[in-house]
Amino acid sequence: MVIITKIYTRQYTIMINYNLIKPLLFKLEPETAHHLAECVLRLPKICPDPFKYFLNSHFIDDEILNQELLGCTFLNPVGLGAGFDKNATMIEGIRTLGFGFTEIGTVTPQPQDGNPKPRMFRHIEQESIQNAMGFNNEGAYKVQERIDKTFPYLTPIGINIGKNKLTHEHEAINDYIKLIRMFNNKGDYFVINISSPNTPGLRDLQNEEFISELFTKAKAITKMPIFLKIAPDMSHEDAIALTTMAVEKGADGIIATNTTIDYSLVPEPKDIGGLSGAVLQEKSFQLFEAIAKELYGKTILISVGGIDSADEAYRRIKAGASLVQILSGLVFHGPDMIMNINKGLVRLLKADGYTNITQAIGANRN
Ligand SMILES: Cc1cc2nc3c(=O)[nH]c(=O)nc-3n(C[C@H](O)[C@H](O)[C@H](O)COP(=O)(O)O)c2cc1C
């Protein structure tokens, strides 16, 4: 990687000129580029020393960003969205990039290959990704083993769970319950993923009967907080009804949103998968805003979808998000992005006269 990175050191600040790397990276198939990134991000666990300077400059731990939530300390509110580290191979590397927390998965009970390739595409002009991965992952046993080796974690970890493709819809609940049992007390929160567009029938589980049964059973098994992650493609009314009901049934929080199947957002869409990144930004925000109007103060809200700047992260926080997540932005803006967003958040919070992020969460709801 060093061949193409222009690294310069000034007062222990290491900056990576991503504009030099990006054209080369984007010559690779998106999935190959992701594997390359994974190879690099595995390194901080194996040989931490060379990465310490990067960690020190990129992990922003300013008191103003610290908050206690879900029984743990979040040193900053910017986390990695599910789907990047499906197999828990990069936990240390992700912290090195400056993320305040990570979410591994989606993990399914059995390993599965996911959909046929190619299944990930870039819309470069639109700074967006279209993916139809289909929960490719090494399966719960392997991921659990890896998580056990990483314990204790230095940043909070969410465990995002889903059903296997071959599990019939009527059996789906058993997959989720099995995963909750297996990962109980092995992370800081669970995420129920029934909002990916890439597993046939999965989004049909976004219904009252399933959610009610799932949360009732899950809450009897685990004390770990459980979030429901929702799709951006339902009407605001339906989303409010669904999330309100989930909270009544025991959900500890809502993550909004997953990718969208609104292909009109890009000029040359593929006919599979879901869109993320810049084109999702407004759609995701509007749905988050609608839910937050109803649920802010009653549950914990995490906003994800097209966040690519401190201003956008701050908009979500003031709308009611305790935490935000990023995935696609990292692909288009590179490894300095999380540091820049956190530094920007510190600046914005101070400019508004806040002494801690918790004072800004939901500031626009009052
Ligand atoms: C390649 C890719 C794979 C993803 N895989 C998952 C997944 O396994 N589980 C999940 O809940 N979300 C998954 N997502 C959705 C992201 O977690 C996030 O909700 C979505 O991309 C919007 O955020 P962004 O615009 O910052 O990317 C995936 C997204 C991408 C781009």
256, β-bridge pairs: 230, 303
Protein residues whose CB sits closer than 6 Å to any atom of ligand 1: 81-83, 86, 105-106, 120, 129, 131, 133, 135, 160, 193, 196, 229, 258-259, 276-277, 280, 304-307, 326-329
212 is catalytic: no
Examine the pLDDT at 14 and tell me if it is beyond 80. no
Ligand 1 atom 11, closest CA: 82
Examine the pLDDT at 121 and tell me if it is beyond 70. yes
- CA-to-CA distance for 318 and 127, rounded, in angstroms? 24
Q: Which residues contact 45 (CB under 8 A, 6 or more apart)?
A: 91, 92, 93, 150
**Residue 22: which H helix or E strand, with range?**
helix 18-25
Q: List the one residue out of 294, 104, 266 whose CA is nearest residue 191.
A: 104
- CA-to-CA distance for 70 and 286, rounded, in angstroms? 25
Examine the pLDDT at 151 and tell me if it is beyond 80. no
Examine the pLDDT at 54 and tell me if it is beyond 90. no
Examine the pLDDT at 324 and tell me if it is beyond 70. yes
Tell me the backbone φ, ψ of residue 88, rounded to 5 degrees. 60, 40
Query: What is the reported pLDDT for 44?
Result: 87
Q: What percentage of the chain reaches a pLDDT higher than 90?
A: 81
Query: What is the reported pLDDT for 154?
Result: 87
Query: What angle in degrees, to the nearest 10, is found between the helix axes of 172-183 and 140-150?
Result: 20
Judge if the upstream peptide bond of residue 118 is cis by omega within 30 degrees of 0: yes
Examine the pLDDT at 6 and tell me if it is beyond 60. no
Residue 103 is given by DSSP the state E
Higher model confidence: residue 9 or residue 299?
299
Examine the pLDDT at 45 and tell me if it is beyond 70. yes
Between 46-55, 224-233, 267-276, the lowest mean confidence (pLDDT) is in: 46-55
Give the distance (Å) from ligand 1 centre to CA of residue 347: 28
Contact 185, 157 (CB under 8 A): no
Using a 10 angstrom Cβ sphere, with 0-12 exposed, 13-18 middle and 19 or more buried, the burial of residue 219 is: middle
Higher model confidence: residue 318 or residue 12?
318
Between 4-13, 77-86, 145-154, 299-308, the lowest mean confidence (pLDDT) is in: 4-13
Query: What is the reported pLDDT for 178?
Result: 97
C-alpha radius of gyration, the chain, whole number: 19
